[in-house]
Amino acid sequence: NAGVTQTPKFRILKIGQSMTLQCAQDMNHNYMYWYRQDPGMGLKLIYYSVGAGITDKGEVPNGYNVSRSTTEDFPLRLELAAPSQTSVYFCASSPLVSSQRTGELFFGEGSRLTVL
């Protein structure tokens, strides 16, 4: 049961470098999300997608970009990495249950990024 797969698990970047965090899910979920988690803080939504070809900003989108060309994949792009982007990044997906209920979020194991 793969679920949500994130790569890489760890990465160190220099200031100004760019990189892409990969996320793939094999559950045919409509919704996908990128969160960041900082020490002692809750999860902050960066971007989300309600289906292939449709993405939208979350609470903290600055410095990031996403794309959703397929149902399965939802990569997160960091352009011009900054120390403030040092964090643990979680990709998640959820099914469409109904308009009255939130679908359960299934999270990947996280990608720990350090920007020096």
Partner 1 sequence: GQQLNQSPQSMFIQEGEDVSMNCTSSSIFNTWLWYKQDPGEGPVLLIALYKAGELTSNGRLTAQFGITRKDSFLNISASIPSDVGIYFCAGSSEPNAGNNRKLIWGLGTSLAVNP
Within 46-105, which residues bind partner 1 (CB under 8 A)? 48, 50, 56, 58-59, 90, 92, 94, 96-105
Two tokens at 116?
């020096």
The nearest distance, CB 26 to partner 1, in angstroms, is: 16
- Nearest to residue 44, comparing CAs of 13, 4, 87, 75? 87
Within 18-47, which residues bind partner 1 (CB under 8 A)? 30-31, 33, 40-45
List for the chain the helix, strand, coil content (%; round to 5). Answer: 5, 50, 45
By CB under 8 A, name the binding residues for partner 1: 4, 30-31, 33, 40-45, 48, 50, 56, 58-59, 90, 92, 94, 96-105, 107-110
